[in-house]
Amino acid sequence: MIERIDQRFAPYSFRDTRLLTQALTHRSAGAPHNERLEFLGDGLVNLLIAEALYLRWPQADEGALTRTRAELVRESALAPIARELDLGSRLILGPGEMKSGGHRRDSILADALEALVAAIYLDAGFEACRAAVLPWFEPAMAALPPPHKVGKDAKTRLQEWLQGRQKPLPVYTLLSETGEEHAKSFRVSCTLAQPALVSEGEGGSRRAAEQLAAEAALLQLAAAD
């Protein structure tokens, strides 16, 4: 059993090692697995990052704070932190996930990281959780551009383009959901009424697919100008 998560930012030693075991247990390995901890950890990570950005950028508006938090807590940002912690080698996976390389998959690593955050919180409380977790995000936060230069995501840019021209907002529709539970693929359409166009996007989550569909719509609008 791994009782200690060591890495170059901040080691944390668990008092209740059962929490650590559960945080590292994927549902493919049976119960108790880490999905409930992941749910709690998702909320904690969002709170910790929101608080850190609020204190770091006292003059930033809500939009810049929201966009930056989204960048820092998305799957593609959490997975590298999980790799820094070497969580992949410590995951408890079922035989199928082990064979398919689940310990390298971004979605599984990001979920395990969130579960680990929740486990630390339950083991030692909020202050200890903040002290252990925030240093993991410090390199990414230190590399952030100034608040006014934080880019807006495609859905936001498309919405603002339409609102600025007093056009109806886009409608996103889930076209298909394929693949096994641990490796789903979502295909989404983005439909505009004025100007009339339809674009599509496909990604590992519905949100990611919607962003890609919005990006495709923006490209069509730019080509039509």
> 3, 6, 35, 42: which is the annotated catalytic residue?
42
Count of C-beta atoms within a 10 Å radius of residue 23 = 30
Q: Is 111 annotated as a binding residue?
A: yes
Q: d(Cα 155, Cα 19) in Å, to the nearest integer?
A: 38
- Among residues 75, 86, 114, 215, which one is catalytic? 114
Give, in degrees to the nearest 5, the angle at Cα 84 between 83 and 87: 50
12-13 and 4-5 strand pairing: antiparallel
- Look up residue 21 and give its two tokens: 């075991």
Is 42 part of the annotated catalytic residue set? Answer: yes
Q: Is 127 annotated as a binding residue?
A: no
Question: Is the separation of the CB atoms in 189 and 206 below 8 Å?
Answer: no
Long-range pairs, 194-200, Cβ under 8 A, ≥24: 194/167, 194/168, 195/167, 195/221, 195/224, 197/221, 200/175
Do the annotations mark residue 6 as ligand-binding? no
Can 106 be counted among the known catalytic residues?
no
Q: Give, as one character, the DSSP assignment of residue 25.
A: B
Helix and strand counts by DSSP (H, E) for the chain: 9, 5
Buried b (16+ CB within 10 A) or exposed e, 129-153: bbebbbebbeeeeeeeeebeebeeb
Record the tokens describing residue 185, joined without a space: 């693929």
Q: Binding site membership for Mg(2+): which residues? A: 38, 111, 114
User: What residues act catalytically?
Assistant: 42, 114
Q: Binding site membership: which residues? A: 38, 111, 114
